[in-house]
Structure 1
Amino acid sequence: MSDRDPSVSDEEWAAFVEAARKDGVGSGSVPEPRRRGFRRRPVRHEPEGWRTGPAWREMNGRGRARRQVKGVVGITLAAGLLLLALRPDLITDRLPEGFGGPGETAPLAAETARPTAPPSSEVFPDHPTLKEPFKGSPALGWANGAAGIEVPRAKAVGGMSSEEVAHALDSVKRFLVAANLDKATLRGERPTGAIKLLDPLQKDVRAYIHRSLDEPDENNDPLGLFSRFDPAEVRLAGDVVKARGRMTFEAGERSGEVQVHVDYTFVYPLVKTRPGFDEVARTVVRRQMAFALYDPAKIMTTRGLLYVLRMDESAGNSDCARDGDGFLHPQFSEDLINAAPLPGGPEIDPYDRSKDLADLPKACGTVTRT
């Protein structure tokens, strides 16, 4: 049965699901969803030159700019079965790819534009396991690691040749891989590979990075750029991190500038390092960033290295109460026993890529799934 050509109408399907919920189908095995913190921190530190880029060759100094480091988000996890079969064919045939439906082995097509809605919720919420760490997650059908960061075909723009644009795109991908997928970065080591791709002439950014890594706090947090977990607490469950998003480019505001914009979500399955611990929790990190590559013949810059123009970040399943130490802190079932009362505020779906991160709330709230 095709999801686009169902034998049951959308109205009939919605009525079926609602009736099943009211009748308590599977109610004996469906625990209450666990709701955890959601946070976007306001920015207090504003280094100069963050968004304006370097000066023209014939000019001195830089203009003042605004930095955007948006949010560290907390979490929730909806666990257990939502619906057991009254008519299994109605359910399994309508599941999206990657969830046990007809196309479960086929990966999702590349994202070419911003989605208009979050991934379907017409799936069985289920527990991840060490063997299947993405079980029950929309990320099940996503690409693995760097394969999820697809580079568009380069062309000349903004006074930059197609070769220069291709270099910019490749550099941005290498930065994203080094900052979000490199195993050493994930276990809290210094992300030197990513830092080397950034122009040292953007001194404010370079100083911010080193300060946030050496002495992190709520105003100087490396999580704005890098995904990092405390190796004394957690490790990856398996070798795979899922990634999905898109990369675009355009001419900059002046000749000799190409800008690269990225919007990617990374899903990390994690387990505590304690011997014998086997519960898997997922942390979902989304990043919206912009970079610039400049022609050093026209603009004061280091040839081939990137400027950071924007960095917005959110993270689902990271303990709000521990913000500022430079690590993401996924929570597990045992962590919720003595947890503080849940924060108020709206619920957020961390898999919803249809909204801009700038539109998300700033305060700690809740999310609906991981």
Structure 2
Amino acid sequence: MVSAEKLREIFSLIEKLETYSFEIGPIRPPSEGGSYSLLIRVTRNCPWRLCKFCYGTPYNREKFQLRSVEEVKKDIKNVKAMADLLKEISFRLGYGGEVNLKLGEAILSYDVTLRHNQCFINVFNWLYSGGKTVFLQDADSLIIPTKNLAEILGYLKNLFPQIERITSYARAKTLLRKTVEELGELRRLGLLRLHVGLETGDDELLKLVNKGVTASEHVEAGRRVIKAGMELSEYVMPGLGGKTFSRQHALNTARVLNKINPHYIRMRTFVPVLNTPLYEDYVRGRFKLLSPHECLREIRLLIENLDVTSRVCFDHFINPSLKGGIPIFRQSYEGYKLPEEKQLILKTIDEALKIDESKFRWTEELAGTPHL
């Protein structure tokens, strides 16, 4: 039985949790959210904001900002304070410092407002899942000068030595401004995986969607990341070329991926997002979306022409699905291992193509979503 005095002390500690906060950006890869990664915002928004399929809408098209090292370190320090408080409360309640569901229930039974506190939720889930992974936000963390990013990584690992993997988004163009040696230094400090939006390996399509990078630049950037010893996730957007560019989109994307041979290839089927140039093209009839079968055939052509040892992942709800959100492909952050499971993917597609298109969820049903 916990005495009244000890309860007051515990309640006081719980109240302190609300006095700490840190910035959290709007998006992260599903593979990071699924592992309850700690989110540390080192930049704000996207430095490019001109891709016609995204247009910076996840960040409300707000101006890009570099956060200072001191700002970020203050956030990390606040995370540390919250983590220490949670462990102290756990000890006081007899849970031995463990962050578990019983601890969460006890805290929320006293302060229900913490249910809506994103900082508390992120830190609690992170510690509950082991406190092993961190994701640096927002869209292009590698744009930070290497010296500054190294200082942030070092500070983070110093306060949380249990961290096993730090990951981030990065633009290919930005990566080309880093040497292999610089990337290697960041890797040694714990930045082990980068997520890069390839979208397509077709130069004509890259130009049309205003990606701001060429296929050859994507290849060089990807190879540089791998040479530095980092894991690389390349994102591909089936359907981005619509009906007009479907075949060349698939073939040239496979060609680029074969040259890079990334650790992961993550599929993100194109959906016209509200307030983007491609959405306007779609609404005005200038962009023709692929039907479900056409999208599957495009993916099949891409997979058929891959000669890689990557893992191909369909870890997002916007990928081909039947009505009711029943996915066609296996939902896993680790995906299908190539070349071993290449035939399994092709067989899965062939079986899906036997299903009448009326049974599928069409991309038109998702068109106009504010952001994905």
**TM-score tier after normalising by the smaller chain length:** under 0.3
More helix by share: 2
More strand by share: 1
| Larger RCO, structure (CA 8 Å, separation 6 or more) | 1
With normalisation by structure 2, the TM-score equals 0.23
